[in-house]
A and B are shown apart, each in its own frame.
Chain A
Amino acid sequence: MLNYNSPIMETKEYPDIKISEVEPILKINLRGKNRDFVTKVGKELSIIPPVDPNTSSSNEKLNLLWLSPDEWFLYSNNKIELKDSNFLEDSLFNEISKKKLGSVTNVSDHWVKINLSGTKIFDLLSAGCPFNFSNFKNSKGAVTQTLVNHIDVIIHNKNTNELNLFVRRSFSMHLWSWLNDSARFI
C-alpha cells in the first residue's frame, strides 16, 4: 500500500442526503476459478465468496462483493491501520497467489470509497445512472457495477438508505463534484 493521500476528505449534507468519503480502508481484489480458491478464501477471511451474481457476504469486519464469476472485491468496514492491511494482504497472498490458486491484488489506493446515506440517495444516483434501482434498494447486501455520470462505479447496498460507492481515484473528484451538484436539485 502506498502512502495514502485522500483525494476528497469531506462530508456534505443536503436535505435527505449525506455524502462522505471514508478513507483509508482496506480494499483487495481477489480472482480465482477453482473450488480450492473459494475454500481458501473462506478459511482466511471467515467469509465464503458469494457465487450468486450481484450479491455480497459480510462479517463484522469485512465485506466480500461479487464482481464477476471469478472476481471478488474485499473491503473493510472500518478505517484500518496500514500494518493491519499488510497482515491480511500478506496472509491472502501467501495462501492464494503463492500457491497458484488465484490472484490477490491490493487496490486500496486504486478505489475511493464514498458513503451515501439518506432517503433520497437512489433518486440522486438515478439522475445520472442507467441502472434500475427498484429491486436493488430493497435488497440489503446487493451489489452492482454500473455507470454514474459515465463513470465506472461499484455500488454496495449496505443498509436501508445507506450504500457504499467505489470509484476509481482518478475519477473521484469529478464524481464527487457531480454528486454534490446533483444533490442540490433532488
Chain B
Amino acid sequence: MFLINCPYCGERDQSEFSAGGEAHIVRPKQPTELSDDEWAEFLFMRKNIKGIQFERWNHAHGCRKWFNVIRDTSNDKIHAVYKMGEEPPIK
C-alpha cells in the first residue's frame, strides 16, 4: 500500500487507483507497414524493470482521470506525477 498524489484530487490511497501499464508508448504511424513481429512488439511487449519506471495510472474511484507516474518498482517510491500530454519532469 502507498499513497499517490493525483494531479487533480490530491493525495489518495493506492486502492482508489488502477494501474494502466507502461507510459509513453507511441502508436506506429503506419501499422499496416509493420511486420507481425514489430506489431506484436508494440501491442504486447512491456518493460518490467526493477527500478524507476514510467507508468500510466487512472484514479478509478475518484476523478476517473488518467495521468502519468514515475515510480521506483523496487520500493514503490513515487518520484513524480504529471498529467497526460505533459513532458516527464525526470528523463
- What is the interface of chain A, defined by CB distance below 8 A to chain B? 53-54, 67-69, 71, 130-132, 144-147, 152
Q: Kindly state the interface size class of chain B when it binds its partner.
A: 10 to 19
Q: Which residue of A lies closest to B13 (CB)?
A: A130
Is B65 a contact of A69 with CB atoms below 8 Å? Answer: yes
- What is the interface of chain B, defined by CB distance below 8 A to chain A? 8-13, 15-16, 61-65
CA distance A69 to B6 in the complex (A): 12
Contacts of A130 in B (CB 8 A): 12-13, 15-16
Q: Which residue of A lies closest to B15 (CB)?
A: A130
Contact of A131 among B8, B12, B63, B65 (CB under 8 A): B12
Contact of A53 among B8, B15, B61, B64 (CB under 8 A): B8
Contacts of B16 in A (CB 8 A): 130, 146-147
Contacts of A54 in B (CB 8 A): 9-10
CA distance A71 to B9 in the complex (A): 13
Contacts of A67 in B (CB 8 A): 63
Contacts of A132 in B (CB 8 A): 11
Contacts of A146 in B (CB 8 A): 12, 16, 61-62
User: Shortest CB–CB separation between residue A106 and chain B, in angstroms?
Assistant: 20
Q: Which residue of A lies closest to B9 (CB)?
A: A53
Contacts of A68 in B (CB 8 A): 8, 62-65
Q: Which residue of B lies closest to A147 (CB)?
A: B61
5 contacts between A and B (CB under 8 A): A54-B10, A130-B13, A144-B62, A146-B61, A146-B62
CA distance A132 to B10 in the complex (A): 11
Contacts of B12 in A (CB 8 A): 130-131, 146
Q: Which residue of B lies closest to A150 (CB)?
A: B15
User: Shortest CB–CB separation between residue B11 and chain A, in angstroms?
Assistant: 8
